[in-house]
């Protein structure tokens, strides 16, 4: 979507919805005109067929595919069984040349519907339009009924693929991306909320264990030493934990401010606390894991929300350009 030229984007948005059946009919009509000698090249045949049809660039490309396919099948059936080599005067229809002719002012534009039979709906082309060789259309249809040698060769020559016609809604890709990003954002938000609740429980458990250790005359400095010896946590995580624990110890009159400072200064290598299975160490390890995971999820959600914001601005800008063009 981002790489589409502005003119092409406007043409895509302005094109009328067109079924694959109608586009195939255009392609068959162009192939018939070429095979019966009405047009010198397939490219010219496609241009003359769709120049008033009001098709988008992608729809024109599909018509080119159908025209090449049907012309090949028609010529292939004409060839003898001994030599199944098919060549077109001027080569297969070139979508780039077709679009160039449609938009250069000499062969109509993709917006120019004119007064043509194609405005009557899919498959409704007047008999006069195809009276020259109606049997060719029937021959083409019969060849396409079942896969055969021609189909295999055709796939190799044109690399034809039956794909849905894109850009009938020019913002479909943007809408799909917005939906996916919004789903990711919502999932991340749910995970973040769950982790935040888990962190509250961990904070409460960690505070209870530290409070119990302090009441058993274990200095806070010994607890810090055990954490650093076993876990080697980032210092900022230790500070954030004590930013929650310290004030509560003072509020609940477990320790005064002076006692808190003195207890933190008493550091030592405490064998009893310095093992990963001790509740104080295990709980603090869980606290660190939860805080780190939360930070990662929040950063990811910020990126997703940034992507959503950019997509929203892109769509607003594109819609504004289209409105200005239509006006």
The most confident of the ranges 42-56, 99-113, 170-184, 210-224 is 210-224
Write the pLDDT tens digit of every residue in 65-79: 888 888 877 776 665
Query: Where residue 114 falls among pLDDT bands split at 50, 70, 90?
Result: very low
The pLDDT of residue 283 is above 50: yes
Residues 292-321, mean pLDDT to the nearest whole number: 90
The pLDDT of residue 266 is above 90: no
Q: pTM surpassing 0.75?
A: no
> Domain segments of the chain: what residues?
6-166, 174-326
Q: What is the 3-state secondary structure (H, E, C) of the chain?
A: CCCCCHHHHHHHHHCCCCCHHHHHHHHHHHHHHHHCCCCCCHHHHHHHHHCCCCCCHHHHHHHHHHHHHHHHHHHHHHCCCCCCCCCCCCCCCCHHHHHHHHHCCCCCCCCCCCCCHHHHCCCCCCHHHCCCCHHHHHHHHHHCCCCCHHHHHHHHHHCCCCCCCCCCCCCHHHHHHHHHHHHHHHHHHHHHHHHHHHHHHHHHHHHHHHHHHHHCCCCHHHHHHHHHHHCCCCHHHHHHHHHHHHHHHHHCCCCCHHHHHHHHHCCCCCCCCCCCCCHHHHHHHHHHHHHHHHHHHHHHHHHHHHHHHHHHHHHHHHHHHHHHHHC
Least confident residue range of 19-23, 166-170, 297-301? 166-170
């Amino acid at each position: 979507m981002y790489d589409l030229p502005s003119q092409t984007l406007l043409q895509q948005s302005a094109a009328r919805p067109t079924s694959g059946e109608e586009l195939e009919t255009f392609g068959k009509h162009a192939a018939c005109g070429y095979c019966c000698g009405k047009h010198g090249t397939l490219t010219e045949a496609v241009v003359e067929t769709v120049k008033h049809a009001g098709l988008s660039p992608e729809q024109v490309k599909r018509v080119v595919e159908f025209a090449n396919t049907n012309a090949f099948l028609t010529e292939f059936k004409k060839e003898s069984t001994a030599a199944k080599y098919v060549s077109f005067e001027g080569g297969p229809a070139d979508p780039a040349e077709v679009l160039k002719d449609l938009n250069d002012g000499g062969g109509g534009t993709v917006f120019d519907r004119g007064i043509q039979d194609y405005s009557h709906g899919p498959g409704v082309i007047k008999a006069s339009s195809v009276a020259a060789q109606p049997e060719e259309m029937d021959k083409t249809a019969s060849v396409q009924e079942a896969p055969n040698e021609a189909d295999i060769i055709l796939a190799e020559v044109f690399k034809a693929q039956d794909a849905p016609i894109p850009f009938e809604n020019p913002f479909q890709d943007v809408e799909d991306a917005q939906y996916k990003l919004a789903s990711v954002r919502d999932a991340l938000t749910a995970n973040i909320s769950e982790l935040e609740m888990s962190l509250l429980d961990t904070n409460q458990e960690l505070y209870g264990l530290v409070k119990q250790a302090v009441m058993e005359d274990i200095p806070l400095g010994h607890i810090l030493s055990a954490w650093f010896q076993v876990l080697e946590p980032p210092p900022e995580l230790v500070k954030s934990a004590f930013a929650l624990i310290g004030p509560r110890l003072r509020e609940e009159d477990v320790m005064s401010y002076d006692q808190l400072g003195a207890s933190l200064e008493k550091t030592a290598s405490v064998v009893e606390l310095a093992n990963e299975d001790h509740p104080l160490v295990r709980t603090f390890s869980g606290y660190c894991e939860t805080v780190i995971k939360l930070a990662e999820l929040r950063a990811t959600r910020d990126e997703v929300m940034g992507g959503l914001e950019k997509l929203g601005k892109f769509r607003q800008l594109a819609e504004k350009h289209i409105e200005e063009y239509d006006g």
